[in-house]
Amino acid sequence: MRFIRLTLPLIIVLLFGLFGLGIQYVVHPTAAQIKEGIALWLRIIGGVASLLGIYMLLRLHVGNARKREEGWGYSLFFFLGFGVMVAATVYNGGQWFWNGAVQGTLFDDLYQYLFESAGATMFSLLGFFIASAAVRSFRARSFEATLLLVAAIIVMLGRAPLGEQITGYVPSVTEWIMAVPNAAAKRGVMLGVSLGVMATSLRIIFGVERSYLGGSS
């Protein structure tokens, strides 16, 4: 039992991890076909994982409704929205859903006028939270904070018509800040993230990280 629950998954992860890593450095038509097959299987596994996620979400809201937990009324709206979208997806204006979305159908209207509008509302609210956090963060308590504050003011003025009316140099300085210091910082962050991904991948491949098995690493 221990072999099936612990050792076998580690062996599978090790073999497939090394195989997937090594095949990226093989320049051969067969290797290209294998990588296409792996990409196809990843999409299949992703679809199965999506079904599992839907099941777990339904199970969570069913449990909330049965136990009458705080906020369980929102679960009813979840079931209503989920049922309507599934029905609209399957019907799809009289065509099967795998033939592609039909313009002007109930699904298209719900997605365009309800889902996208709700998403835009959430992002607009996020803008106020960002502005509030910026006000608290941009305090000139040190040289670094002062530099960040000055750069933020220049960039905000350069992105608005007011900055160009003040002086024509503001948009130019803004473009330089975005193209040089900002781009360099973004690349540094992406490099650090990439190294972190590589380190985590190697820890999983060689069995150092085992949290995906349901236990501690």
pLDDT in tens, 21-56: 888 888 888 888 998 998 899 899 999 999 999 999
Task: Give the C-alpha distances (Å, rounded to integers) separating 144 from 131, 132, 179.
Answer: 19, 20, 20
| Burial of 107 per CB tally in 10 Å (0-12, 13-18, 19+) | buried
Q: What pLDDT, on a 0 to 100 scale, did the predictor assign at position 67? A: 86
User: pLDDT value at position 97?
Assistant: 53
Phi/psi zone of residue 157: left (φ > 0), alpha (ψ -120 to 50 degrees), beta?
alpha
The model's pTM = 0.58
Structure tokens at 194: 């990439």
pLDDT value for 215: 57
Residue ranges, the chain, pLDDT below 50 = 216-217
Percentage of residues in the chain with pLDDT exceeding 90?
24
Rounded CA separation 183/165 (Å) = 26
How far is the C-alpha of 137 from the C-alpha of 135, rounded, in Å?
6
Which pLDDT value is given to residue 22? 87
